[in-house]
Amino acid sequence: MLTFLDRALRWSSGLMAAIALFAIMWLTLADVTGRKFLSHSVPGGLELTEVLMVVVIFGALPLVSLRSEHVVFDTLDAFVPAWFKGLQARLVHLICAGMFAFMAKLMVQRADRFSEYGDVTLHLQLPLSPVAWLMAAFLLVTALVHLLFLVMPLTATQADEPTGEGSAS
């Protein structure tokens, strides 16, 4: 189940985030080159970078949660009894699921308001509501990932500590 979900998220949100990061890289190269040699930057380059950063950050959230690669504060782990670690992991997943779902709800409300008011970016006049809806969708997927961990049997690594490369152990 988790390998299927990992593969699905990698090929959806992960690929989307990777393409956005690649686009930011090329946009920055074009912008700096244009400023240096042509005395002109890419029109709306900053706005495009901001929108693409939303895709990078929020697109990576479900994958980071699925792989337990969040930054970890584990200084007190030596003092936590082994019997409590499973309960602690489930409590953390419950809190995370609730917070991500709440943030998704807030982003949907904000997206509706953006749509109602017709809010757009300043220079390129890009509508803001699709960006906010995308953020809400990624937040909701992240909440669902945490809910999945809440109902699944815990493995030793989930109960103890994350083993991903991104952990700050």
Tens-binned pLDDT, residue by residue, of the chain (169 aa): 667 777 887 788 889 999 999 999 999 999 999 999 998 999 999 999 999 999 999 999 999 998 888 888 888 888 888 888 889 889 999 999 999 999 999 999 999 999 999 999 999 999 999 999 999 999 999 999 999 988 887 664 455 544 445 444 4
Q: Tens digit of pLDDT for each residue in 54-99? A: 999 999 999 999 888 888 888 888 888 888 888 988 999 999 999 9
At residue 52, the 3 state secondary structure works out as helix
- Largest CA-CA distance found in the chain, in angstroms, rounded: 65
Nearest to 107 by CA among 80, 91, 86, 129: 129
Would you state the pLDDT for residue 80? 86
For the chain, the domains span 2-159
CA dihedral 125, 131, 132, 133 (to 10 degrees): 120
